[in-house]
Chain A
Amino acid sequence: MVKKGRIVAFFLIVLLLGGLIGTTVMGVTKDIKLGLDLQGGFEVLYEVEPAQEGQELSQDLLNSTVSALYKRINVLGVSEPRITIEGDDRIRVQLAGVKDQNQARELLSTQAELTFRTTDDEEKMSGADLKEGAAKVVFDNNQPVVQVTLKKPEQFANITREISQLPPPENRLVIWLDYEEGDSYKEEVTKPADEQKFISDPAVNEVLSQNTVIISGPPFQLEEAENLQDLLNAGSLPVKLDEIYSTSVGAQFGEQSLDKTVMAGFIGIGLIFLFMLFYYRLPGAIAVVTLSVYIYLILVVFNWMHAVLTLPGIAALILGVGMAVDANIITYERIKEELRSGKSVMSAFKAGGRRSFTTIFDANITTLIAAGVLFAYGTSSVKGFAVMLITSIVVSFLTAVWGSRILLGLWVKSRALNKKPGLFGVKESEIDEL
Chain B
Amino acid sequence: MSSKVRDTKFDFVKHRNKFFAISLALIVLGGLAIAIFGLNLGIDFSSGSRVDLQSDSKLTTEEVSQEFDDLGFAPESVTLAGGGDMAVAAFKNELGKDEIAKIKDHFTELYGAEPNISTVSPDVAVDLAKNAFIALTIASVGIILYVAIRFEWLQGVAAIVALFHDAFFIIAVFSILQIEVNITFIAAVLTIVGYSINDTIVTFDRIRENMKFEKKVKTFEDVARVVNKSLVQTLARSINTVLTVVFAAAALTIFGGEAIRPFAIALLIGLVAGTYSSLFIASQLWAVWKGKQLKKKKFTPAESEV
Contacts and interface: CB of A to CB of B under 8 A. Distances in A.
Contacts of B231: none
A323 B198 contact: yes
Contact of B146 (A369, A381, A429): A369
Contacts of A45: 124
Nearest to A318: B248
A312 B184 contact: yes
A261 B194 contact: no
Given A340-B6, A363-B205, A381-B186, A272 B247 contact: yes
Nearest to B248: A268
A206 B161 CA distance: 81
Nearest to B142: A369
B101 A105 contact: yes
Contacts of B105: 102
Contacts of B9: none
Contact of A377 (B135, B194, B197): B135
B187 A312 contact: yes
Given A275-B244, A329-B244, A244 B121 contact: yes
B191 A329 contact: no
Contacts of A25: none
Contacts of B267: 315, 318
A315 B118 contact: no
Q: Chain A interface mostly helix, strand, loop or mixed?
A: helix
B243 A275 contact: yes
A260 B82 CA distance: 13
A271 interface: yes
A427 B3 contact: yes
Contact of A261 (B114, B118, B193, B252): B252
A202 to B, nearest CB: 28
Contacts of B191: 315-316, 318-319, 385
A325 B245 contact: yes
B121 A245 contact: yes
Contact of A248 (B117, B150, B159): B117
Interface residues of B, number: 79
B233 interface: yes
Contact of A326 (B116, B198, B256): B198
Contacts of B38: none
Interface in B254-303: 254-260, 263-264, 267
A373 interface: yes
Interface in B115-139: 115-121, 123-124, 127-128, 131-132, 134-135, 138-139
A311 B146 contact: no
B3 A363 contact: no
Q: Chain B interface mostly helix, strand, loop or mixed?
A: helix
Interface stretch (B15-23, B29-37, B234-242): B234-242
Interface string A41-75: 00001000000000000000000000000000000
B138 A373 contact: yes
Contact of B117 (A246, A265, A316, A389): A246
A245 B124 CA distance: 7
A330 B132 CA distance: 31
A37 interface: yes
B119 A370 contact: no
A268 to B, nearest CB: 3
Contact of B54 (A248, A253, A260, A358): A253
B241 A325 contact: yes
Most A CB contacts (10 A, CB to CB) among B105, B159, B255 go to B255
Given A40-B114, A333-B237, A378-B132, A366 B260 contact: no
B202 interface: yes
B251 A261 contact: no
Contacts of A261: 252, 256-257, 259-260
A363 B128 CA distance: 28
Interface in A362-385: 362-367, 369-374, 376-379, 381-382, 385
Contact of A253 (B52, B146, B250): B52
A354 to B, nearest CB: 12
A268 B197 contact: no
A312 B44 CA distance: 14
B225 interface: no
A105 B100 contact: yes
A24 B20 CA distance: 52
A333 B135 CA distance: 34
A125 B260 CA distance: 53
Contacts of B52: 250, 253
B64 interface: no
B209 interface: yes
A359 interface: yes
Nearest to B197: A366
A32 interface: no
A245 B50 CA distance: 12
A275 B242 CA distance: 12
Interface in B196-245: 197-198, 201-202, 205-206, 209, 233-234, 236-237, 240-241, 243-245
B205 A359 contact: yes
Nearest to B1: A279
B256 A264 contact: yes
Contact of A373 (B123, B142, B159, B241): B142
Contacts of B127: 379
Contact of B251 (A256, A265, A369): A265
A366 B143 contact: yes
A271 B116 contact: no
A218 interface: no
B183 interface: yes
7 contacts: A101-B114, A245-B120, A253-B52, A329-B240, A333-B240, A365-B146, A370-B190
Nearest first, the 8 A-B pairs at minimum CB distance are A250-B114, A268-B251, A260-B257, A268-B248, A247-B118, A264-B255, A312-B187, A377-B135
Given A311-B184, A427-B3, 18 more contacts: A101-B104, A105-B100, A247-B116, A247-B117, A248-B104, A261-B257, A272-B248, A315-B191, A315-B263, A326-B244, A329-B237, A329-B244, A333-B236, A362-B201, A363-B202, A365-B150, A373-B142, A382-B187
Interface of A: 37, 40, 45, 101-102, 105-106, 109, 243-253, 256-257, 259-261, 263-265, 267-269, 271-272, 275-276, 279, 311-312, 314-316, 318-319, 321-323, 325-326, 329-330, 333, 336-337, 340, 355, 358-359, 362-367, 369-374, 376-379, 381-382, 385, 389, 425-427, 429-430
